[in-house]
Chains A and B, each alone.
Chain A
Amino acid sequence: MTVVTLNGERRELDERATVETAVRLAGAVDGRGVAVALDGEVVPRGEWSTTEIRDGQQVEVLHAVQGGA
């Protein structure tokens, strides 16, 4: 079991869960318009399926919302 913080919430993931798993779990259906930071570092889209999440890591899954001025 891997325990992570996903978008501010404590979540339990399977061993060897990847960033791609986390993106789906966060509710981003197809991943379009979405970006991921793992412990504050950007994970490029091309590396989502091969980047495993380790116990205790912080995952942020972001997208564009209304904002500005």
Chain B
Amino acid sequence: MREGNSFEIAGRTLESRLILGTGGFRNLQVMAEAARESGAELATVAMRRVDPSARGSLVEVLEEAGLEVLPNTAGCFTAREAVTTAKLAREALETDWVKLEVIGDDRTLLPDPAELLSAAEELVGDGFTVLPYTNDDPILARRLEDAGCAAVMPLGSPIGSGMGINNAYNLRLIVEQARVPVILDAGVGTASDAALAMEAGCDAVLLASAISRAADPPAMARAMRKAIEAGHEARLAGRIPRRLYAQASSPEEGVADLADEPQRA
């Protein structure tokens, strides 16, 4: 990776700006292959009841592929459930980092802002490094940051919808005001969505379904890695302004006069 491409969350340097969600992969082998291609260093996992018939350890497979686990609180609908789930994850996985999700609605899986903020405050107070999955609302993002969250993770569009970035204006406001990393979380459908997020100034992109449910997950993981790098570099390079009319790129001086009809003898 090119030097100077890294970023920091809570004092920890990450070289990859792609964070991988592990939901939706057919099996652990495909997941491991995609994880390697993605270049990600962090991968989200969910906490669920032990299943005695389950084969293979997810955490071991991720560690072998060089990724660290980032537990989430997926499936929680109240602050209380999310806080307990985060504490269980800390106990099971020995990390005080948590991707905080508090969902308000089964159909849209949109975050419940009141429960989210309340859970974030409690977990920060308990020493967690909190990365909240939030609505694309600049005010809520600021409240989460003020509560001590280590990053804000606005959605582009609902989880698994593949609709990309629905409110580019709000995302721009969130990026402009944030003093913590902004990670676009959810909604990415294809590589251009991830590139757009990075061009908008996001520090990283978290995605799962766009890779795990693609026809060829490892190939899509590679595409996402390139798109995120390209989007980030384009942001740094500084794009040209949008204009209504053309601006010639060849010199306007010294153009030959070829307009007249040829003279006949």
Q: Which residues of A contact B (CB under 8 A)?
A: 7-8, 26-28, 33-37, 40-42, 44-45, 60-69
Contacts and interface: CB of A to CB of B under 8 A. Distances in A.
Contacts of B71: 64
B23 A69 contact: yes
Contacts of B82: none
A66 to B, nearest CB: 4
Given A65-B54, A69-B23, A69-B209, 19 more contacts: A27-B53, A34-B92, A35-B91, A40-B84, A42-B84, A62-B92, A64-B71, A64-B89, A64-B93, A65-B51, A66-B24, A66-B28, A66-B58, A67-B44, A67-B74, A68-B21, A68-B43, A68-B70, A68-B72
Interface residues of B, number: 45
A44 B221 CA distance: 37
Given A7-B50, A26-B52, A69 B91 contact: no
Interface string B62-80: 0000000111101000001
10 contacts: A7-B50, A28-B50, A34-B50, A63-B48, A65-B47, A66-B23, A67-B22, A68-B21, A68-B45, A69-B206
B17 interface: no
B47 A62 contact: yes
A33 B184 CA distance: 28
